[in-house]
A and B are shown apart, each in its own frame.
Chain A
Amino acid sequence: MRRRLRTTELAALGLAMLLAWLVIYPILVVAGDAADATALRGFFTRPGEWAALWASIWISLASVVLAGAIGIPLAFLFEWFDFPGRKTLGALIALPVVLPPLVGVIAFLFLYGESGFIARAIQAALNLEQAPWRLQGAVAILLVHAYSMYVYFYLFTRAGLAKLDVSTLEAAQALGADRRATFWRVIVPLLRPSLVGAAMLTFLTALGSFSAPYIFGGGFRVMTTQIVATKLNGDLPLAMVETMALAVVAVVGWLILRRTEGDDILVALGKGIAPRPRPIRRSGIRLLATAAGWGLAVVLLLPHLTLLLVSLVPYGAWTTEILPPAINFENYRRLFSEAERLRPMLNSLWMAAASTAIAVALALVGGWLVVRRRVALRRVIEGLLALPWALPGTVFAIALAITFSVNAPLQLRFVLVGTVVILPLAYLVRALPLTGRGILASYRQLDPSLEEAAASLGAGGWRTLARVTLPQLRPGLAAGASLAFVAGLGDIVASIVLYTYETRPVSIEILSSLRLSETGVAAAFGVVLMLVSAVVLSVGARR
């Protein structure tokens, strides 16, 4: 027993050190290097830097407000009222969150951009000289954020509402509270953890958002695009200072929101099923709710439908017409028959698969040590698994780029940048919180007596793992793994900093297609990403 105890503690130490090397060490390296007087002075004296930092903060806060304004009423509509199509629509409008951000952004571009579908239609209808608007700058970024991030508020609020105990509402009414008092004094306080959780997730996602500002920002810079631009210009010391500034904002924002109690996220993400919605009796309101629900779903899904349409238009065929003059599968044919175009697809697939497999394995070991063996380092391991969730992807991308471009084995630094290892490694860091959260939550719900029962029936460690533990962990494991895979598949934040021509992933190929005005190919890539993601996620969500 004593010896076994020591082996598990040693294993825990090994895992903690490996995780620390992956998720903390690179940031410490950057923090150390960033303490450079010239770079610091450069950062603090240039107005552009302050403007970008301030832009990041206010864009993130405004995204929280906008996303909440859309997501919360939607959640009430779908959780409390019954109308035709409620279930299908309720699932459909949660879709944007699971698709790679880049796909949503280019879909938005094709629909609402200055040469997009709607702008063209208006231009033709009103016979204008040029496009009626230019979708650029802060407004465009905020639109995209609101469009994709309302889902956090929608899902969290629905989960919170689903957990409400009807009898507490009845109790409030029995105690003399009218509907308004019940809402403000019972429902809102009970929803607070869900709302804070959603706000936190939205804030951190908006702060780390890269594709929207990159595509729509134009001259308007936020911290993530600023960092990448500085890095591409070769001013590494300044990029490191910028990275640390962004990391500090993320941590401060996270701490402030955490203080307002937001620790319910695990629970909130676990559910999403309504207990019993009320049918709307008044036919007028019923019609209105139905129309609102369907109308909204169409608006929200329109960008993706546009993406599908654009992907079917061959190169150079669509110039000034409202509707494309020709439609065929030429872009898809090129995508799959030209080796140079197929390559990014295969790259993304294997790199996402490899990082997901390793992230699952690490989370399984972590779950076993933290939940089952309750090792002394369990809080450390859990914290390390969760940490990459709190920091923007750009921070990790820069940290990995800097740490692993130096050969100093004694400092545990190796030249990995430029090799095939670096992108899977970056995806792995981002995947750890996803697999870790899913697997740890499932492990906590797993009755230990099931494993004991297997042992008492003569099953050894491996057989118990394969026949009892893994099947029981399957829902959390599949959910975490599918999210991690999709995140890696559509990643742009880490890829744009770390890719080489050989290892370029789909996101980079989409960007270069856009730059060459090959919108059809870019859209076809987007559609393929979307489909693969949707299939993987629906498999992962199966119970």
Chain B
Amino acid sequence: MTGFLRIQAIEKRWGHGVTVGPITLDIARGEILALLGPSGSGKTTMLRLLAGFETADGGHIAVANEDVTAVPPARRRFGMVFQHYALFPHLDVGENVGFGVPRAPDRDAKVAAALGLVDLAGYERRSVHELSGGQQQRVALARALAPEPRVLLLDEPLSNLDPALRERTRRELRQVIKRVGITTVFVTHEQEEAFDLGDRIAVINAGRLEQTGAPEELYEAPANLFVATFVGRANVFRGQSARALGATDGRAVLVVRPERLRFSAAGGLPGVVRERRYTGAAAFFIVESDDGERFEVLAQPDAARVGERVHVEATRTIALSENGARP
């Protein structure tokens, strides 16, 4: 894979010894990359480094083999959708979308096309104040795409929408991006959003890149304990409990997803059901082992009762070494 957008050992040092990077990433043309991490992990700094709002203290950023590390944001031709959209309140929808389009006879046509792309055709003369949150988000997207940028950057693009709208907008957003075919990097702290919208995900924690991969890869083969627990639900077992679930190395850390645990008649790890959280199609059972460790089992709602003594076995485990890394 030859990277269209290449990030090489990019680094930003803040005061107080806080450092983001060095991070190296290659993003293919037309690919959607999610930067996933908890708040304060450095993912927004990464996005701002890409946009040029922060200046790197080391490393390089290149687009189509052009080094843009020192190119100011205004000349970088990267489109950006801001977390709170940053629509210009004193301009109408058309003026917002046309802001980055050069003055030329085809400007209005380009604005109309961009608005059509986000399903807001004919909204040019509306005030941005009278738009709903979802419409504002789409105007922000149209505005970023209208100048035909080389790369699209999105900062928590859905965090301002209510949950019901979020899922639908996510699908529409992906459709628009894929239709335009633009190379995209977006930041999120929600695993579901990263899985749904991204072709590939880069997990960032404490300024470091933990793992890059497709959603399945992160979920089924996490590189370390952080990725295993941050991406999806995970039970972590050590020592005696880990051995009871099939660990061969006594010092290994065993990660098991709740749906990979099941109740069995005998054998495996014994424990008592302490709680049952019903979700409709299934239920999470909180089981306490004899060592006092609590873990979750996802099973049919009637698989067990609270207070019942059960045995739990694993259908699939992820073994990590003692320090949490993949052996």
A81 and B275 CA atoms in complex are apart in Å by 57
The reply on B75 being an interface residue by CB < 8 A is yes
Verify if A449 is at the interface (C-beta below 8 Å from B).
Answer: yes
B200 to chain A, nearest CB (A): 23
Partner of A458, one of B77, B89, B153: B77
CA A460 – CA B73 in complex, angstroms? 9
A457, B84: Cβ atoms closer than 8 Å: no
Q: Mark A459-470, 1 if CB is under 8 A from B, else 0.
A: 111001001100
Q: Is the CB of B72 within 8 A of A457?
A: no
A175 located at the interface, meaning its Cβ lies under 8 Å from any Cβ of chain B in the complex: no
Contact A455 B84 (CB under 8 A): no
Per DSSP, chain B at the interface is: loop
Q: Which of B73, B79, B88 contacts A468 (CB 8 A)?
A: B88
A454 to B90, CA, bound (A): 13
**Given A454-B99, A457-B100, A459-B99: A447 touches B74 (CB 8 Å cut-off):** no
Question: Hey, which chain B residues are within 8 Å of A464, CB to CB?
Answer: 74
List of A residues within 8 angstroms of B144 by Cβ: 456-457
The answer to whether B84 touches A449 (Cβ under 8 A) is yes
Closest Cβ of chain A: how far from B128's Cβ, in Å?
12
Which residues of A, 467-491, contact B by the 8 Å Cβ criterion? 467-468, 471-472, 474
Q: Is the CB of B86 within 8 A of A450?
A: yes
Closest to A457 in B: B100
Closest to A452 in B: B53
Q: Is the CB of B51 within 8 A of A452?
A: yes
B51 and A456 contacting across the interface, CB-CB below 8 Å:
yes
What separation, in Å, do the CA atoms of A447 and B100 have in the docked complex? 19
Query: Which residues of A sit under 8 angstroms from B153, Cβ to Cβ?
Result: 456
A467-B74 Cα distance, complex, nearest whole Å: 14
A1 within 8 A of B: yes
Q: Residues of B contacting A256 with CB < 8 Å?
A: none
Q: Given A452-B53, A452-B80, A454-B99, verify A460-B74 contact (CB < 8 Å).
A: yes
* Cα distance A474–B90 in the bound complex, in angstroms: 10
Chain B residues numbered 170-195 whose CB sits less than 8 Å from any CB in chain A: none
Interface contact B82-A471, CB-CB below 8 Å: no
Minimum Cβ distance to chain A for residue B278 (Å)? 37
Does A453 belong to the interface (CB within 8 Å)?
yes
Contacts of B74 in A (CB 8 A): 455-456, 458-461, 464
**A462 CB, min distance to chain B CBs, angstroms:** 11
CB-CB nearest in chain B for A450 = B86
| Bound Cα distance from A471 to B86, whole angstroms | 14
CA gap between A450 and B72 in the complex, in Å: 16
Q: Interface of chain A, helix or strand or loop or mixed?
A: helix
- B52, B53, B89, B147: the one contacting A457 at CB < 8 Å is B147
B75: contacting residue among A447, A458, A468, CB under 8 A? A458
B24 within 8 A of A: no
Closest to A470 in B: B90
Residue B257 is within 8 A (CB to CB) of chain A in the complex? no
Q: How far is the CB of A174 from chain B (nearest CB, A)?
A: 31
Residues of A418-455 at the interface with B, using a CB-CB cut-off of 8 Å, are 447, 449-450, 452-455
Q: Which of B51, B73, B80, B83 has the most CB of A within 10 A?
A: B73
* Interface membership of chain B positions 191-226, coded 1 if the CB is closer than 8 angstroms to chain A and 0 otherwise: 000000000000000000000000000000000000
Residue of B nearest to A455 (CB): B73
CA distance A455 to B153 in the complex (A): 14
C-alpha gap A221/B70 in the complex (Å) = 66
Q: How far is the CA of A472 from the CA of B73 in the complex (A)?
A: 21
Interface centre among B78, B84, B100, B143 (most CB of A within 10 A): B100
B80 in contact with A456 (CB, 8 Å): yes
Given contacts A452-B80, A455-B73, A456-B80, whether A447 and B99 have CB atoms under 8 Å apart is no
> Smallest CB–CB gap between B84 and chain A, Å?
7
Interchain CB contact under 8 A, B143 and A471:
no
Query: Number of B residues whose C-beta is below 8 Å from A?
Result: 27
B residues near A457, Cβ cutoff 8 Å: 79, 99-100, 143-144, 147
The reply to whether A1 and B100 contact each other, CB–CB distance below 8 Å, is no
Q: Are B82 and A453 in contact (CB under 8 A)?
A: yes
Interface presence of B55 (CB below 8 A): yes
How far is the CB of A373 from the nearest CB of chain B, in Å? 14
Verify B100–A449 contact, CB threshold 8 A.
no
Q: Which residues of B64-119 are within 8 A (CB) of A?
A: 72-80, 82-84, 86-90, 99-100
Q: Which residues of B are found within 8 Å of A474, using beta-carbon distances?
A: 90
- What is the minimal beta-carbon distance from A465 to any residue of chain B, in angstroms? 12
C-alpha spacing A457/B75, complex, angstroms: 9
Cα distance A474–B153 in the bound complex, in angstroms: 30
Known: A457-B143, A460-B74. A472 touches B99 (CB 8 A): no
User: What is the CA–CA distance of A467 and B144 in the complex, to the nearest angstrom?
Assistant: 17
Report the nearest A residue to B53, measured CB to CB: A452
Q: Identify the closest chain B residue to A460 (Cβ).
A: B74
CB within 8 Å for A450 and B55 given contacts A455-B74, A460-B74: no
B83 proximity list for chain A (CB < 8 A): 449
Residue pair A450, B73 in contact (C-beta under 8 Å): no
Tell whether, in the assembled complex, residue B88 and residue A456 are in contact, meaning their CB atoms are under 8 Å apart.
no
A397 to B90, CA, bound (A): 41
A457-B100, A457-B147 known; A472+B89 contact, CB < 8 A: yes
- Which chain A residues border B72 with CB–CB below 8 Å? 455
Q: Which residues of A contact B100 (CB under 8 A)?
A: 456-459
A449-B82 contact, Cβ under 8 Å, with A457-B147, A459-B100 = yes
State the CA gap A467–B52 with chains docked (Å): 21
CA distance A459 to B99 in the complex (A): 8
CA distance A472 to B72 in the complex (A): 23
Q: Is A447 touching B53 in the complex (CB atoms < 8 A)?
A: no
Closest Cβ neighbor of B140 among chain A residues: A453
CA distance A458 to B103 in the complex (A): 12
Report the separation of the CA atoms of residues A461 and B75 in the bound assembly, to the nearest whole angstrom.
11
Closest beta carbon of chain A to B146's beta carbon, Å: 8
Cβ–Cβ contact B99 & A452, under 8 A: no
Within 8 A of A (CB), among B135-190: 143-144, 147, 153
Q: Across the interface, name the chain B residue whose C-beta is closest to A459.
A: B74
Query: A468 CA to B83 CA in the complex, in Å?
Result: 18
- Closest CB in chain A relative to B35 CB, distance in Å: 17
Q: How far does the alpha carbon of A461 sit from the alpha carbon of B52 in the complex, in Å?
A: 14
Q: How far is the CA of A450 from the CA of B85 in the complex (A)?
A: 9
In the bound complex, do residue A458 and residue B147 qualify as a contact, i.e. CB atoms below 8 Å apart?
Answer: yes
Across the interface, which residues of A come within 8 angstroms of B80, CB to CB? Answer: 452-453, 456
| Chain B neighbourhood of A458, CB < 8 A | 74-75, 77, 100, 147
Q: Which residues 243-282 of B have a CB within 8 angstroms of A?
A: none
Find chain B residues with CB under 8 A from A467 CB: 88, 99
Instruction: Please tell me if the beta carbons of B90 and A456 are within 8 angstroms of each other in the complex.
Output: no
B86 contact set on A, CB distance < 8 A: 447, 449-450, 452-453
- Between A447, A454, A458, the greatest number of chain B beta carbons within 10 A of the residue's beta carbon is seen for A458
Q: How far is the CA of A449 from the CA of B143 in the complex (A)?
A: 14
**Known contacts A1-B55, A447-B86, A472-B90; A456/B78 CB under 8 A:** yes
What CA separation (Å) do A1 and B75 show in the bound complex? 17
Closest chain-A Cβ to B78's Cβ sits at a distance in Å of: 6
**Distance (whole angstroms) from the CB of A213 to the closest CB of chain B:** 45
Known contacts A450-B86, A472-B90, A456 near B73 by CB under 8 Å: yes
Q: Which residues of B are in contact with A by a Cβ distance under 8 Å?
A: 51-53, 55, 72-80, 82-84, 86-90, 99-100, 143-144, 147, 153
Listed A/B pairs (22) with beta-carbon separation below 8 Å: A447-B86, A450-B88, A452-B53, A452-B80, A453-B80, A453-B86, A453-B88, A454-B99, A455-B72, A455-B73, A456-B51, A456-B79, A456-B80, A456-B153, A457-B99, A457-B143, A458-B77, A459-B100, A467-B88, A467-B99, A471-B90, A472-B88
Q: Residues on A close to B: CB < 8 A? A: 1, 447, 449-450, 452-461, 464, 467-468, 471-472, 474
Kindly list 5 other residue pairs between chains A and B, CB separation below 8 angstroms, not including A456-B52, A460-B74, A472-B89.
A449-B86, A453-B80, A455-B73, A456-B100, A459-B100
Closest 7 CB pairs of A and B: A457-B100, A449-B86, A455-B73, A453-B86, A1-B55, A456-B80, A471-B90
